[in-house]
Structure formats: C-alpha cells, structure tokens
Amino acid sequence: MRAGRRIAPSFVVVALVLGYAVGTAGGLLPDRADAPQAPQPSAQTATVALPNRDGSLKFAVLGDWGNGSRQQIELAGQMSKLRERFPFELVITVGDNIYGSNNAQSLRRRFEEVYKDLITADVKFYASLGNHDDRELQRRYTLFNMDGKFYYTFKAPRQDVRFFAIESSYLDVAHIGWIQKVLQESGEKWKIPYFHHPLYSSGRRHGSQDQIRTILEPLFIKYNISVAFAGHDHFYERTKPQNGIVHFVVGSGGQLRRGNIELRSPLTAKGFDTDQAFLAVEIDGDELFFNAIARSGQIVDSGVIQRRQPPQ
C-alpha cells in the first residue's frame, strides 16, 4: 500500500487540488523569481578530502546502476575500496536500480553479487524508485529497506540528519501531502530528499524536470533543504546553488551517456560524463563534504557545503 495514501489530505493539498481545478494551473506555487532567497551554500572548487571524522555520518549515493555490466562491477569495486578507509554505513539509491527484467535472479546478479562486499559489511541500501524499476518487487525487497512503501523517510544512524525517499514519477495528492507533512514535522537540521527525476540537470537526453520542480522546489525552499540527490540523466553533475539548494545528479552508477552534459549549461558547477561514478558524502555538524569518485578511482569532484540556516 502506498505509504502516504493513508494520510488525510492536509489543507494545503486540498487547496492545491481545488486551486488547480478552478483553472489556475501553474500559478499555485511560487515561481523561481518569487522564491525567497535563502543563504547560498558554499561549494569549493579545489579538491577537498573527506575528513573521515569520528561520529560523522558517512554515506554513498548511487543511481542508474543495475545493468550487470563490467563497468558497474568495477565501480562497485571502487566503493568497496573506499569503504576500507572511509567506513560509510549506508547507500542511498536514486532509482533505476535494476534494468531489464526485474526478478529474483536479476536482483541477485545485478545487486547482491555486485555489492557483496558492502552487503556483507552490513552497509544498508535505502532505495528510491526510478522509471525502470519493478515497484512491487523492489519496495518489498528486504535489502532495499523500503519497508513495503513507494516513498518513505528515515533518520540517519548518526548526526542530525533525516532522509526522504520520494517517488518522483508519481506525485499525486497523497504523495505531495505526505512530503509536506514529513518535511514540516522533521526537526532534524539536515533534511535530505532523494529521488529519480532531477529538478535541475544539464542533460541533453532528459534535462531538468520542471513540472516536478514546480511542486517540490517551493517545499524544499520552505523547509530549508540544502542539498537534493537525483539521477535519470546518466552522468554526474553538481549544479550551482538553485534558490539556495545544491542539486546532485548521480545517474552514473552503471549506465552512462557519454558526452551528454550540455557544455554551455548555466546550471553546472561541475559535470562528469566520460565514465561511471558514485558520490561519497560525509556530514559533520553543519558541513557536508562530498567526493565524486569515478570507476578509475579518480576524484572528479569534491567540496564542502554549509547547511543553509533557517530564515530568522
């Protein structure tokens, strides 16, 4: 059963629906020019090592990955290698977890065998769903930790962090109401949404999903989100802060669309589309450190983002 459909629609959701129904499409939520300008997180461009501090939250981000290719396996090898010195304890996935037939065998071959080292080391995978995923199978698959839900939230095992796995291909009234409710109720300093379809992307193939952005971005601004993780476009990209939020596209975990980043895109702070890559992240206090690591082991992007401070 959809998690959020059990929740009675809030006033806001009812207003959203009725507002749209009376023919004011597109005018419900603030457009970008109207959005409050929150303090911008800073992201350095020089290589920044992950500090690997005691007590910090360490995790990885992986997207568009389960194709069973040699490249996916080699990237998984880099993840295992990193974990020997940087003991991340969870992986969030931004969808398209399994390509092609989704069945018990493909879950074994394209997931359990490929990430065996991590699974054995008790690294937890928390999946979100992409448009290639068998939703019924994956939401119930124990190792994806979705607890039978299409969208869900969980508190990180350390630091003041909460994650929100969103099902971006189906944002209906119940889902939007749920997002609003859980973001509002969350008292954690870091609220980290992750989902498949990027609100901002410089991909020539898919690019920014502006219809989803119309719904999600005002909520992200309102509830003081600092970073969001997505996939769908098959490369790595970090955007310049958009309305105060840094967007990562990490659709480079197995599939790759070489040369697909629009070179003249004004969005890009850093892009990498010539090899598979994943993202390693560390949160300590108000700082989020990140390293994007390619299949070769090369760090192709790094930096530190300061958490946005809530408006006074």
Partner 1 sequence: MTILAGRLARQWLRVALATVAMVALESGSSALDAWPVQNSQNRDAAQVADFQKRVKEYADLREKLKQTLPTLAEQAPPEDIQQHQRALERLIARARAAAKRGDIFTQPIRAYFRRQLSRVFSGPDGARSRRTIMDENPRTIRLRVNSRYPDGSVLTNMPPQLLLLLPALPPQLEYRFVGEDLVLLDLESAMVVDYIDEAIDS
| Residue count, binding to partner 1 (CB under 8 A) | 61
262 part of the interface to partner 1, by CB under 8 A: no
List the Cα angle 279/254/239 in 5-degree steps: 40
- Site map (CB under 8 A) of partner 1, residues 213-232, x = contact: -xx--xx--x----------
- 140 or 155: CB nearest partner 1: 140
Q: Which is nearer to partner 1, 37 or 120 (CB)?
A: 37
Task: Report, in Å, the least distance between residue 78 CB and partner 1.
Answer: 27
Q: What sign results for the dihedral spanned by CA atoms 113, 115, 116, 122?
A: negative
Q: Applying CB under 8 A, does 24 fall inside the site for partner 1?
A: yes
CB count in 10 Å sphere of residue 180: 22
Which listed residue (124, 149, 158, 206) binds partner 1 by CB under 8 A?
206
Assigned token pair, 302: 């790094």
Segment near partner 1 (CB under 8 A); pick from 67-75, 135-143, 237-245, 283-291:
135-143
Query: 84 vs 105, which CB is nearer to partner 1?
Result: 105
Residues 130/95, Cβ–Cβ less than 8 Å: yes
Measured from the CB atom, the residue of 148 and 297 that comes closer to partner 1 is 148
Tokens 């070489």, located at residue: 258
Q: Is 131 in the site for partner 1 (CB under 8 A)?
A: yes
Pick the binder of partner 1 from 142, 187, 264, 266 (CB under 8 A). 142
Q: How far is it, in rounded angstroms, from Cα 200 to Cα 229?
A: 10
Both tokens assigned to 263: 């070179």
Find out whether 158 and 57 touch, Cβ atoms under 8 Å.
yes
Please state the closest distance from residue 262 (CB atom) to partner 1, in A: 16
* Buried b or exposed e, range 11-32, using 16+ CB within 10 angstroms: ebbeebbeeeeeeeeeeebeee
Structure-block tokens of residue 228:
């969001």
- Give DSSP secondary structure letters for 256-287: --TT-B-TT-SSEEEEE-SS-EEEEEEEETTE
- State yes or no: residue 110 binds partner 1 (CB under 8 A): no
Q: Nearest Cα to 139, choosing from 184, 93, 105, 84?
A: 93
Determine if 33 is a binding residue for partner 1 (CB under 8 A): no
Q: Determine, following the binding rule CB under 8 A, whether residue 209 of this chain makes contact with partner 1.
A: yes
> ∠ CA(303), CA(309), CA(312), 5° rounding?
160
> Which C-beta is closer to partner 1: that of 5 or that of 53?
5
Closer residue to partner 1 in complex, CB, 99/229: 99
Range in contact with partner 1 (rule: CB under 8 A) among 84-92, 98-106, 181-189, 285-293 = 98-106
* Per CB under 8 A, 169 contacts partner 1: yes
Secondary structure letter of residue 110 according to DSSP: I
Tell me which residues touch partner 1 (CB under 8 A): 1-2, 5-6, 11-12, 15-30, 34-36, 99-104, 107, 131-132, 134-137, 140-142, 148, 168-174, 176, 197, 206, 209-212, 214-215, 218-219, 222
